A and B are shown apart, each in its own frame.
Chain A
Amino acid sequence: MTDPQTIISADHLIAGYLPGVDILNGCSMDVKDGELIGVIGPNGAGKSTFLKALFGLVPVREGKVQLRGEDITNLKADKLVQRGIGFVPQTENVFPTLSIEENLEMGAYQAPKTYKSQRAKMYDLFPVLGKRRNQQAGSLSGGERQMVAMARALMMDPSVLLLDEPSAGLSPDRQDETFVRTRDINRTGVTVIMVEQNARRCLQICDRGYVLDQGTSAYTATGQELLADPKVIELYLGTLGADKDDEDDADASAAPEATPEKSE
């Protein structure tokens, strides 16, 4: 835990939305500076909840989140943004009536001085956004929105980026593009924690994967090891998740759609 290379760590998090209902039951994770982490697991396992707990959007009841050894448990999102964490939610992750450029400006809201230079960087990284800078984000395609959302989260030059299913709902081509781009961003030194339904593709590009099931981090290994793990193959890769990621489940998740496949 005191590994000096650890940038962000979660220690036995217990968290949930409603009093008395724990969605995370002792979820732990240790991420080294510069790592690209993939988090996989069945629908309703608590992957989104885990990212939200890291980002202070779901109250953590027990356990600890640390950033470079400092306790950041339950800090408010705007404080975490200041400390260099960026978050891209799974759905509704752009401001639809704002233009692309205004979306990026909001990303740099706490650091207006760096806005112009960061914006230029983002237009380099996502040229299509530069070309359409005055277009309303609400009128963009799913893939373009995902770019806006990612660019917005990168405007503060975060050291840790949390991505919730960036490839959900995209065509296979766009999915590939998203994974490649995520790795590119990671190679510029940004630590990335990515939740994915597309387990195979995710494990192929990430340094290390975590398997989350029923609110606990069941196990972790390198992406390659997990890809070869018979249990993982059986549970998450065999059917390739049957592309059940088409539905946007983040907010409608009060519905009892949880855990279609149980482990063991």
Chain B
Amino acid sequence: MRNANHAGQKARHFPLRIALLSTLTVAAITVISAVPAQASQLATEVADTSGGTETNLLLQNLLNGITFGLLLALASVGLSLIYATTGLSNFAHGEQVTFGAAAAFAAVTAGAPLLLAAVIAVAAGGASGWLQDTVLWSQLRKRRIAPMQQMIVSIGLALAAVNLLQIWMGAQRVRLSTSIEVRYEFGPVSIGPQTMISMAVCIVALGAVGFFLQRTRLGRATRAVSDNPALASATGISVNRVIRIVWIMSGSLAALGGVLLALYENTSDFSAGARILLLMFAAVTLGGLGHPFGALVGSLVVGVVAEVSTVFLPTPDLKYAIVMGMLILTLLVRPQGLLGRKERVG
């Protein structure tokens, strides 16, 4: 998959890519229309009932889209980093997100304040990334199992993990915070305090990832590994150590994303991460597979397009179909995604 768009083969892979995307689209619509999009409904309801200054639906949805885009970016940046450094499309990444919410919920239930619960969730997420890479993924890499086979393993892992999470969390919905959501009005838009804090946390965390990749030696080595792992090791970079750190980061960022998503939607359950998995893949692909900032840009576009489209759509359930359609159109014009680099010719 990784080299699918080598110049010479581009034409040959195009039908395959479209077939894959159409399948994804159908799957996404099925999954998503089965689950009412509470988040946006909630927001719309509040927006509709708030008297006083008039709420501008378009701006409100834009804001919702940016919020959701930031959350999606936080959740999917690890997916993108793992793909970039190892070539693996990790279908178990959704469960990493759920795991964060579950761990935070367990901590809250045990009496921890929300902030501490979030910290515990992030640490547990990082630990799970470390553990997975140690006992599973590094072993597969050592035996030179191809990314495609690894991807199948990740699907199996996702199935197992979602069941374990269901046993752990139960089948019912859970809430991390029972405080009543108030909303502040800023001219034509309104926003809740939890959402504002979530946005701030997202921005800080994503900024930290950017800082890491651009301004630290280890981060630059991470980009080197994603450019060319063979050359990176021939240069003296310990590639496996870099990948281990990417797994730890990916696990903790996904966990943080899961916690914030649970706060944003004001609910969570064992399949919360699985529900956004396809959106994460869409965002990462749209932004540019393997590009360090592809996840951020792709997620923001996905979030904004999805939410803003509800203003014009007969039913909000169609919003993710719009996202997938846009993804296909974008790839037709820019096969490498918005930020992706064209494969070198020759």
A interface, CB within 8 angstroms of B: 55, 57, 76-78, 81-82, 87, 89, 92-98, 102, 105-107, 109-110, 112, 138, 152-153, 156, 248
Judged by a CB distance under 8 angstroms, whether B231 is at the interface is yes
Contact with A along B76-88 (1 / 0, CB 8 A): 0000000000000
Contacts A81-B236, A106-B237 known; list 14 others, CB within 8 Å.
A78-B233, A78-B236, A81-B234, A96-B227, A96-B228, A97-B227, A98-B227, A102-B223, A105-B220, A106-B220, A107-B236, A109-B236, A138-B341, A248-B346
List chain A residues, Cβ under 8 A from B142: none
Chain B nearest CB from A90 CB (Å) reads 12
List chain B residues, Cβ under 8 A from A110: 236
- Can you list 16 contacts pairing A with B, beta carbon distance less than 8 Å? A55-B234, A57-B230, A57-B234, A77-B233, A81-B236, A89-B230, A92-B231, A93-B231, A96-B341, A98-B220, A98-B223, A106-B224, A106-B235, A107-B235, A109-B235, A109-B237
Alpha-carbon gap, A264 to B250, bound state (A): 58
Residue on A with the closest CB to B291? Answer: A97
Chain B nearest CB from A134 CB (Å) reads 12
Q: Decide: A95 near B228, CB < 8 A? Known: A55-B234, A110-B236.
A: yes
List chain A residues, Cβ under 8 A from B341: 96-97, 138
Q: Which of B217, B230, B235, B341 has the most CB of A within 10 A?
A: B235
Judged by a CB distance under 8 angstroms, whether B56 is at the interface is no
Count: A-B pairs, CB below 8 Å: 68
Residue on A with the closest CB to B237? Answer: A109
Judged by a CB distance under 8 angstroms, whether B232 is at the interface is yes
**B234 adjacent to A89 (CB under 8 Å):** yes
Nearest first, the 6 A-B pairs at minimum CB distance are A81-B236, A95-B227, A110-B236, A95-B224, A77-B234, A78-B236
**A82 adjacent to B220 (CB under 8 Å):** no
Residue on B with the closest CB to A79? Answer: B236
Judged by a CB distance under 8 angstroms, whether B238 is at the interface is yes
Chain A nearest CB from B161 CB (Å) reads 32
Residue on A with the closest CB to B225? Answer: A95
Residue on A with the closest CB to B238? Answer: A78
Judged by a CB distance under 8 angstroms, whether B143 is at the interface is no
Chain B nearest CB from A119 CB (Å) reads 13
Residue on B with the closest CB to A78? Answer: B236
Chain B nearest CB from A212 CB (Å) reads 21
**B227 adjacent to A78 (CB under 8 Å):** no
Q: Decide: A156 near B228, CB < 8 A? Known: A96-B344, A105-B220, A109-B221.
A: no
- Count of interface residues, chain B, beta-carbon cutoff 8 Å: 20
**B231 adjacent to A82 (CB under 8 Å):** no
**A89 adjacent to B217 (CB under 8 Å):** no
Residue on A with the closest CB to B239? Answer: A78
**B223 adjacent to A97 (CB under 8 Å):** yes
**B233 adjacent to A95 (CB under 8 Å):** no
Alpha-carbon gap, A93 to B227, bound state (A): 11
List chain A residues, Cβ under 8 A from B231: 89, 92-95
Q: Decide: A81 near B344, CB < 8 A? Known: A95-B223, A98-B224, A105-B217.
A: no
Alpha-carbon gap, A55 to B227, bound state (A): 21
**A102 adjacent to B238 (CB under 8 Å):** no
Alpha-carbon gap, A93 to B235, bound state (A): 10
**A112 adjacent to B235 (CB under 8 Å):** no
List chain A residues, Cβ under 8 A from B233: 76-78
Chain B nearest CB from A47 CB (Å) reads 17
Pick from B223, B228, B235, B238: contact of A92, CB under 8 Å: B228
Chain B nearest CB from A4 CB (Å) reads 28
Residue on B with the closest CB to A110? Answer: B236
List chain A residues, Cβ under 8 A from B217: 105, 109, 112
Residue on B with the closest CB to A152? Answer: B235
Name B197-238 residues within 8 Å CB distance of A: 217, 220-221, 223-224, 226-228, 230-238
**A78 adjacent to B237 (CB under 8 Å):** yes
Alpha-carbon gap, A66 to B184, bound state (A): 72
Alpha-carbon gap, A92 to B343, bound state (A): 12
Alpha-carbon gap, A110 to B232, bound state (A): 12
List chain B residues, Cβ under 8 A from A55: 234
Chain A nearest CB from B83 CB (Å) reads 15
**A138 adjacent to B344 (CB under 8 Å):** yes
Residue on A with the closest CB to B290? Answer: A97
Q: Which of A89, A95, A96, A112 has the most CB of B within 10 A?
A: A95
Alpha-carbon gap, A89 to B236, bound state (A): 14
Residue on B with the closest CB to A153? Answer: B235
List chain B residues, Cβ under 8 A from A82: 236
List chain A residues, Cβ under 8 A from B223: 95, 97-98, 102
Alpha-carbon gap, A106 to B230, bound state (A): 13
Alpha-carbon gap, A94 to B234, bound state (A): 11
Alpha-carbon gap, A93 to B341, bound state (A): 17
List chain A residues, Cβ under 8 A from B234: 55, 57, 77, 81, 87, 89
Alpha-carbon gap, A77 to B232, bound state (A): 10
Chain A nearest CB from B51 CB (Å) reads 52
List chain A residues, Cβ under 8 A from B230: 57, 89, 92
Chain A nearest CB from B164 CB (Å) reads 36
Alpha-carbon gap, A70 to B122, bound state (A): 47
Alpha-carbon gap, A78 to B220, bound state (A): 17
Alpha-carbon gap, A106 to B218, bound state (A): 10
Alpha-carbon gap, A107 to B232, bound state (A): 9
Residue on B with the closest CB to A87? Answer: B234
**B236 adjacent to A102 (CB under 8 Å):** no
List chain B residues, Cβ under 8 A from A97: 223, 226-227, 341
